[in-house]
Amino acid sequence: MVLLSNSFREPMLEMYKFETNQLLEQMEQVVINSEKSNCCSQEAINEIFRIMHTIKGSSAMMLFNGISTLAHSIEDLFFYLREYKPENVDYMKLSDLVLSCTDFIKEELSKIERGVEPDGNPDESVNIIKAYLTELKGDGGGNAIQENTDEKKDEGKKQKYFITRSLSDNSEKTLYKAVIYFEEGCEMENIRAFTVMHSLKNIAQDIMCEPEDVIENEESTRFIRENGFKMQFYSDKTYEEIENILNETIFLKKLELEVVDNNDTANVNKKKPVIDLESDRSITPEAVRTEKEKEKEQANKTLLHNFISVNVNKLDKLMDLVGELVISEAMVTSNPDLKGLSLDNFNKAASQLKKITGELQDIVMSIRMVPLSATFQKMHRIVRDMCKKLDKDVELEILGETTEVDKNIIENISDPLMHLIRNSLDHGIETKEERIKNGKSQKGKITLEARNEGGEVIIIVKDDGRGLNKEKILQKALDHGLIQDINREIPDREIFSMIFLPGFSTKENVTEFSGRGVGMDVVSNNIEKIGGVVNVDSIAGEGTTMTIRIPLTLAIIDGMNIRVSNSTYTIPITSIKESFRAKEEDLITDPDGNEMIMVRGDCYPIIRIHKLFNIKDSITNISEGITIMVESEMNTVCLFADELLGEQQVVVKALPQYIKKVKGIAGCTLLGEGTISLILDIAALVKMK
């Protein structure tokens, strides 16, 4: 059965994946929070129920039946928890169960992501959930449930024999008999039958029907499918009127309507199963009602926030356009044609324009900003799972999760963070016994903190574990040939940062989570990709702190434009330490032809940009050009260019796809006069030396 054509399924797939992932994360949080407090509040149960209900529905629409089936079984489980509030719930088991199911669904989603058919078989999990549900129903709260179902039965009975609108005298009314057949595959025939009766409630009396209990009995649907829905009722309307009303039934396949002889009615009247069409079964005790009122209050609150979701591509386009606007503004206000003119009014208007473009730029930037909370919250799950597996007791403290960063950063920071946390838990935090032996509390602590500092976001992962072992790291680096010379004095920071070198791992035992020695260099690479740096500090026996610094936004930077022959380059201002005109006598050339320069007694390598990019007709005499000292990750080099052109805010644009990655170039930008400038990748340049 194909519900949706492919042309429909494709565009919906993105949305499905996004929403389902989001819901799963939300649910994971609820589960982990409940587990912490070792109970499951009514709200939490409701929320999980709702989330599973939604996932079930949308998965069924997308024909991902495995996911849908599994979600359905959890929905059933939480429906039971919600309705019957059993007391014998093992919350540990429950959260394990739910989390394993979210893992299954996530795995299926990642298959979908890769374009593979999600073919996982949920039967095993479904059976476990069903077994658990039976167990819950079976023992402990058994009595309560029994009572409950009894109550329900009573209610049902009442309903069945409750007579709505019995007229003392039916003589003037006509007794009709109708059989309604519904179209095949229209689903929920019993409710459709109920709807038909409901539509008759104002014109008919003493409605009797077969099957009698359309709603309560599951069999009724099958009965209606096979035999049609049979009704008998009194009405003062004419045959045609009744026929018209019944013919309006949706999904009606066939209607049989006849007038019954009044004489026959006597015996029918004896048993009168009349469905109560009026009752509103949702009995609301006072307590519940006040809760509802609270909910309404909350609803009003939520109404104040009006959110829309926008396609990210549109946002990127908007960002681009604002970037162009900033440039155009510079092109107009510093237009060479205006030189030498007295332009009082123009300048007034221009400064107004500048102010507004600035504000616009800020707003657009803020749209792209997303709080780190979702990313941070995900870490709870990792800590929980690892603690269980490694039998450690660790508390994860999250600080400053509302700090906002560019959405681009969010996408790239999650994996490195996960890795750092895993590392801290696995290698940093000691076992319970070891901690007690060392006079620490049994419970370890990992702090994940984010804050804004200047134009940067700082994310800190701190643990109170055993700290890094300097000697071990040095030895390892030597063994792997990562460093040659151990005799020179190496600062601590430099030693610690060796753990980010490719192929480095100090832990002998490779564990399931970390320690394959591929992780840490991936961490630093990922962070560099978004323009950030990572530093390590550690005190033996007290813990390790990893500090990640990322520029707040990557799209617009303050740049210094420099000229080399006819080409213009831009250097991010943040990486410039100083610029100066060098003297020839300070220049040192080593036997390999590498140039160095002495500045205040320190020696720095020189990178001549004209050599690097093969530019002709540039200044080659070091005392005629300009030397710019730049720094990245504590390393410093000097760049040599023809002249400085000036400072400007530039919009960073990636190099087009058809230009292969050029070493030393981070991107390009458009300058005020319309020329293109290449943005230098200082981190890469520093690494070259």
Partner 1 sequence: MASVLIVDDAAFMRTSLKLMLEKNGFTVVGEADNGAAAIQKYMELNPNIVTMDITMPVLDGIEATKKIKEVDPQAKVVIVSAMGQESYVRDAVVAGAKNFIVKPFKEEHVLKVLNSL
Residue 291 binds partner 1 (CB under 8 A): no
Out of 299, 321, 367, 478, which residue is the one contacting partner 1 (CB under 8 A)? 299
Query: Of the ranges 107-115, 273-281, 326-334, 526-534, which one interacts with partner 1 (CB under 8 A)?
Result: 273-281
Question: Whose CA is closest to 160, among 316, 55, 306, 272?
Answer: 272
Under a CB-based contact definition with an 8 Å cutoff, are residues 636 and 577 in contact? yes
Residues across the chain = 689
Query: Of the ranges 93-101, 291-299, 501-509, 570-578, which one interacts with partner 1 (CB under 8 A)?
Result: 291-299
Query: Of the ranges 143-151, 189-197, 580-588, 592-600, which one interacts with partner 1 (CB under 8 A)?
Result: 189-197
Residue 6 binds partner 1 (CB under 8 A): no
Q: Would you say 16 or 569 has its CB closer to partner 1?
A: 16
Give the nearest distance from C-beta 221 to partner 1 in angstroms: 8
Query: What is the DSSP secondary-structure string of 176-200?
Result: EEEEEEEPTT---HHHHHHHHHHHH
527, with CB counted inside 10 A (0-12, 13-18, 19+), is buried
Residue 279 binds partner 1 (CB under 8 A): yes
Under a CB-based contact definition with an 8 Å cutoff, are residues 418 and 382 in contact? yes
Residue 8 binds partner 1 (CB under 8 A): yes
Out of 6, 168, 282, 487, which residue is the one contacting partner 1 (CB under 8 A)? 282
Give the nearest distance from C-beta 319 to partner 1 in angstroms: 24
Residue 195 binds partner 1 (CB under 8 A): yes
What DSSP state is assigned to residue 427?
Answer: I
What the block records as the tokens of 642 is 């023809």
Residue 97 binds partner 1 (CB under 8 A): no
Q: Would you say 194 or 376 has its CB closer to partner 1?
A: 194
Q: Would you say 276 or 521 has its CB closer to partner 1?
A: 276
**By rule CB under 8 A, what string of x and - marks binding of each residue 231-250 to partner 1?**
-----------------x-x
Under a CB-based contact definition with an 8 Å cutoff, are residues 495 and 521 in contact? no
Dist. CA 626–CA 569, nearest whole Å: 13
How many CA atoms lie within 13 Å of 115's alpha carbon, on the beta-carbon side? 0
Q: Would you say 15 or 676 has its CB closer to partner 1?
A: 15
Give the nearest distance from C-beta 180 to partner 1 in angstroms: 15
Residue 607: its H or E element? strand 602-608
Out of 132, 194, 500, 513, which residue is the one contacting partner 1 (CB under 8 A)? 194
Out of 48, 56, 94, 476, which residue is the one contacting partner 1 (CB under 8 A)? 56
Give the nearest distance from C-beta 188 to partner 1 in angstroms: 5
Site for partner 1 in 205-224 (CB under 8 A): 215
**By rule CB under 8 A, what string of x and - marks binding of each residue 534-553 to partner 1?**
--------------------
Residue 166 binds partner 1 (CB under 8 A): no
Query: What is the DSSP secondary-structure string of 501-537?
Result: STT----SS--SSS-SSSHHHHHHHHHHHTT-EEEEE
Residue 604 binds partner 1 (CB under 8 A): no
Q: Would you say 12 or 259 has its CB closer to partner 1?
A: 12
Q: Would you say 299 or 518 has its CB closer to partner 1?
A: 299
SS3 content of the chain, % helix, strand, coil (to 5): 50, 20, 30
Query: What is the DSSP secondary-structure string of 280-343?
Result: ------HHHHHHHHHHHHHHHHHHH-------HHHHHHHHHHHHHHHHHHHHHHT-GGGTT---
Cα 63 to chain centroid, rounded: 23
Under a CB-based contact definition with an 8 Å cutoff, are residues 586 and 598 in contact? yes
Out of 6, 11, 336, 600, which residue is the one contacting partner 1 (CB under 8 A)? 11
Residue 277 binds partner 1 (CB under 8 A): yes
Residue 259 binds partner 1 (CB under 8 A): no
Residue with tokens 């929403």: 19
Q: Would you say 298 or 525 has its CB closer to partner 1?
A: 298
Residue 3 binds partner 1 (CB under 8 A): yes
Q: Is the previous residue joined to 656 through a cis bond, with omega within 30 degrees of 0?
A: no
State phi, psi for 679 to the nearest 5 degrees: -90, 125
State phi, psi for 174 to the nearest 5 degrees: -100, 145
Which distant-in-sequence residues (6+ apart) come within 8 Å of 201 by Cβ?
A: 164, 207, 277, 278
Dist. CA 129–CA 93, nearest whole Å: 11
Residue 310 binds partner 1 (CB under 8 A): no
Dist. CA 595–CA 677, nearest whole Å: 26
Give the nearest distance from C-beta 60 to partner 1 in angstroms: 4
Q: Would you say 309 or 509 has its CB closer to partner 1?
A: 309
Residue 191 binds partner 1 (CB under 8 A): yes
Which distant-in-sequence residues (6+ apart) come within 8 Å of 450 by Cβ?
A: 372, 376, 399, 400, 401, 403, 405, 457, 458, 459, 460
Dist. CA 144–CA 137, nearest whole Å: 10
Residues 342, 346, 347, 348, CA torsion sign: positive
Residue 95 binds partner 1 (CB under 8 A): no
Under a CB-based contact definition with an 8 Å cutoff, are residues 566 and 618 in contact? no
Out of 21, 26, 32, 61, which residue is the one contacting partner 1 (CB under 8 A)? 61
Out of 165, 177, 198, 225, which residue is the one contacting partner 1 (CB under 8 A)? 198
Residue 432 binds partner 1 (CB under 8 A): no
Site for partner 1 in 13-52 (CB under 8 A): 15-16, 19-20, 47, 49-50
Give the nearest distance from C-beta 74 to partner 1 in angstroms: 13
Which distant-in-sequence residues (6+ apart) come within 8 Å of 99 by Cβ?
A: 28, 31, 381
Out of 171, 263, 267, 309, which residue is the one contacting partner 1 (CB under 8 A)? 309
Site residues (vs partner 1, CB under 8 A) = 3-4, 8, 11-12, 15-16, 19-20, 47, 49-50, 53-54, 56-58, 60-61, 72, 186-188, 190-191, 194-195, 198, 215, 248, 250-251, 277-282, 292, 295-296, 298-300, 302-303, 309
